[in-house]
Amino acid sequence: MTERFPGYDVLSKRDTPSWNEQTRRVIDQRLAIGPDDHGFFTDAEWATLKAVCGRILPQPPDRAAPVPIAALIDHKLASGRSDGYRDARMPPMGDAWRRGLGALDAEARGRHGQPFHELSPAEQDGLLTAVQSGYAADPAWGGMPPELFFKSRIIADCIGAYFGHPTAWSEIGYGGPAAPRGYVRMDLGRRDPWEAAEAYPGREAKARRENGRVGRT
């Protein structure tokens, strides 16, 4: 993967005026969630969830510490947190995930004779595409629209978990919460020294040098 923000690590801002103690505490708690931590899902559900997350947002194979997407989803559910809203056709978040994961496994066994996490990547993608398109009809769905589960739970929760993690912030050049410092240079094309520098063609080395200074300003 080509680095768009070479040398940028949002965590280098941890002890600078960019973040306050509340921000540090919240991010430290997020970073403490390990890739195998789960307390809400059963072991069978957990295996399916991890496989789903791996197909929705594949991460670079050489990434030392991938974003623990499945664990972040599990943590949200185990903590009793929700979005505060939901489509009236969907059950509550935890119930939707349990039913959806069970239905994915049932679809996988019915079509391929194996649970979802044991399917090949191509088979997993094919089944997820069928769910996305609404072409899934196993009784295990229990009346929950498969395409709505894909849209409002799989996509929304996987993407939310991924881009709520500092590893993804570094990847996209995001600086994390703006409080208390905020931003000063608001004009187009201007950048505060505590913001990430993007590597334009021929200017990669310059961007890397500037990003190395982010945590020292």
pLDDT by 10s per residue, the chain, length 217 = 458 999 999 999 999 999 999 999 999 999 999 999 999 999 999 999 999 999 999 999 988 899 999 999 999 999 998 899 999 999 999 999 999 999 999 999 999 999 999 999 999 999 999 999 999 999 999 999 999 999 999 999 999 999 999 999 999 999 998 888 888 888 887 889 899 999 999 889 999 999 999 988 7
| Cβ atoms within 10 Å, residue 146 | 21
C-beta of residue 158 within 8 angstroms of C-beta of residue 53: yes
Kindly state the DSSP code that residue 180 receives in the 8-state scheme: B
- Whether pTM > 0.75 for this model: the answer is yes
Contacts of 44 (CB under 8 A, 6+ apart): 105, 115
Kindly state the DSSP code that residue 187 receives in the 8-state scheme: S
* Nearest one of 111, 112, 132 to 52, comparing CA atoms: 132
Give the Cα separation of 126 and 180 in Å (integer): 46
The DSSP annotation for 14-36 comes to TTSTTB-HHHHHHHHHHHT--TT
At 11-37, the pLDDT tens digits run: 999 999 999 999 999 999 999 999 999
